[in-house]
């Protein structure tokens, strides 16, 4: 079971951006710019959520979790499934997860939230005062 810490929700930023798109202040092409790597990650590692794309209104959104952290070494910066996140959280002290929503039809993408996972324990043995 995941216990996220330092959770940041980007809902207000998302809402403001979508208001700008609907008002014509921002061109939809500017926000529908998911690259091929993000599109593939959404296809293979994303989980479909029960929400329709707010831009094209044609497809359900996928959420992709990206992991970052020194302790993760070569897998830092990669997309991971919920099961992978649980495994990583059990074996690493701390890493950051960024959840991005993606529309695979129009390429809309936006950072939904970020948080920290991990054991929270220092690596190695116990620390003692003065020694």
The answer on pLDDT for 118 being more than 60 is yes
pTM of the model: 0.86
Determine the Cα–Cα distance for residues 32 and 109; give it in Å rounded to an integer.
6
Instruction: Produce one character per residue of 57-95: b if its CB has 16 or more CB atoms within 10 Å, e if not.
Output: eeeebbbbbbbebeebeeeeeebbeeeebeebbeebebb
- With a cut of 80, say whether residue 5 has pLDDT above it: yes
Residue among 108, 121, 122 at smallest CA distance from 21: 108
User: Would you say 68 and 76 are in contact if contact means Cβ atoms under 8 Å apart?
Assistant: yes
Q: Is it the case that residue 127 has pLDDT exceeding 80?
A: no
Q: Per-residue pLDDT averaged across 68-93, rounded? A: 92
* pLDDT surpassing 90 at residue 13: yes
Is 53:103 a contact under the CB 8 Å cutoff?
Answer: yes
DSSP H or E stretch at residue 112: strand 109-117
Output the average pLDDT for the chain.
90
User: pLDDT class for 123, splitting at 50, 70, 90?
Assistant: low
Residue 111's pLDDT is what? 97
């Amino acid at each position: 079971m995941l216990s996220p810490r330092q959770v940041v929700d980007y809902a207000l930023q998302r809402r403001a951006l979508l208001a700008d798109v609907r008002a014509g202040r921002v061109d939809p092409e500017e926000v529908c710019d998911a690259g091929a790597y993000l599109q593939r990650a959404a296809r293979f590692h994303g989980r479909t959520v029960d929400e329709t794309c707010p831009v094209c209104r044609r497809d359900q959104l996928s959420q992709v979790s990206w992991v970052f952290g020194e302790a993760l070494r070569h897998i830092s910066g990669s997309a991971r499934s919920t099961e992978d996140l649980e495994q990583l959280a059990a074996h690493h002290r701390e890493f950051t997860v960024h959840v991005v929503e993606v529309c695979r039809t129009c390429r809309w993408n936006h950072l939904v939230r970020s948080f920290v996972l991990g054991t929270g324990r220092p690596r190695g043995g116990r620390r003692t005062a003065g020694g």
